[in-house]
Amino acid sequence: MKKFLKRAALVCGALVAVLVLAVGGYIGYLQLQYYRIEDGIPLEVVTPQEATLQTDTPYTAISCNLGFGAYGPEYSFFMDTGVMEDGTPTQGIYGKARSQEDVLANTTLALETLQPLDADFLLFQEVDRDSHRSYQVDQREMVSEAFPGYGYTWAENFHSGYLAYPLNDHHGAVTAGLLTLTRYSVSDAVRRSYPIDDNFFIKFTDLDRCFSVMRLSVEGTDRQLVLIHSHMSAYDSGGIIRAQQLELLCQVLEEEYAAGNYVIVGGDFNHALYGTELAFPSQQQFPGWVQSLGDSDLPEHFSFVQADNGFSVPTCRGADIPYEKGVNYTTVVDGFAVSDNVIAKAENLDTDFAFSDHNPVQLTFELAA
């Protein structure tokens, strides 16, 4: 019996040692794979266009978070949590899309929804390239092929080693970014890095957050349209990192306006915009991740463009449970802010979250002479 117990102890010790080495090796692998993209990297304009913007001329821009093609109505995401009205806790299930077919179908539906709108600018977030979570579907290629006659820039904001979590549905390795398309001539484009949470584990699962800055000449003026495409942090307890990100964004807005430029910033702000925190019916408690943004948070001369239907059509649903209208918590986190030399109105496009956990937003604007 003593020999048996001794051997059992040795076997258990060996297994523990192997497990420790495996976990340590995996963490070391993630650390070796991890890096932050430098701030201020110039972006290539692919298939550049030649047309020039005019003053007092209507243009349209659309912001759309593709959610890496995963978020059909039946989808829930493992990092999202919530609480039902009766106190029941909820948490999403999936670490990646349910299938490659889902990714293709959701991405195709998004593109087919937006193509007839014939927008001049398109701002897409959570666009995947060669990622396990989207079964290696190249969404950047799908989008660019769906919109010929546009130049585009790509700003990478998620690059991870293989994330073996959740254990039953690995998120895998990810390459994703912000894709910005335009029909007009771009003189310069650059990627700006947002501050992020550098917690040892969070940095592997959150995005390398950024915004892109695209400059376009305006005929007959010495001004430029500065189009900023932004995707701020979501998983940020207390909103500390988001406050730092907003500070940087506002600094850039102030500098560009002081230089006499027209400025538009659009994308996924991951904050409830212009008072929509409790605008929509829900059977869930108010979630802890929600922070608010309004005009008072922006520099002088800037304001959010409140959608005409902004209090009847939300743009983001909670992904801790599958989507059911009136059940999930919803709010408006997507949209645009403009300088006061841009005349603009917006509309939230009601797709009822058919292909993403976001609804697109369309901006119609003119540059004042």
Model confidence pLDDT, tens digit, residues 121-158:
999 999 999 999 999 999 999 999 999 999 999 999 98
Question: 274 and 295 in contact (C-beta within 8 Å)?
Answer: yes
* Pairing assessment for the beta strands 172-182 and 188-193 based on DSSP bridges: unpaired
- Is the overall model pTM greater than 0.85, yes or no? yes
Model confidence pLDDT, tens digit, residues 75-125 = 999 999 999 999 999 999 999 999 999 999 999 999 999 999 999 999 999
Question: 82 and 318 in contact (C-beta within 8 Å)?
Answer: yes
Q: What average pLDDT is seen over the chain? A: 92
* Nearest-angstrom CA–CA distance, 233 and 148: 31
Question: 217 and 54 in contact (C-beta within 8 Å)?
Answer: no
3-state secondary structure at position 6: helix
Model confidence pLDDT, tens digit, residues 256-282 = 999 999 999 999 999 999 999 999 999
- Name every residue whose Cβ is closer than 8 Å to that of residue 253 and which is 6 or more positions away in sequence: 228, 263, 265, 298, 299, 302, 337, 339
Model confidence pLDDT, tens digit, residues 41-59 = 999 999 999 999 999 999 9
Closest CA to 25 of 220, 164, 145: 164
Which tokens belong to 230? 């932004």
60 forms bridges with which residues in the sheet? 364
Q: Is pLDDT at 201 greater than 80 in this prediction?
A: no
* Nearest-angstrom CA–CA distance, 27 and 39: 26
* Nearest-angstrom CA–CA distance, 67 and 196: 20
Omega prior to 166 cis, within 30 of 0: yes
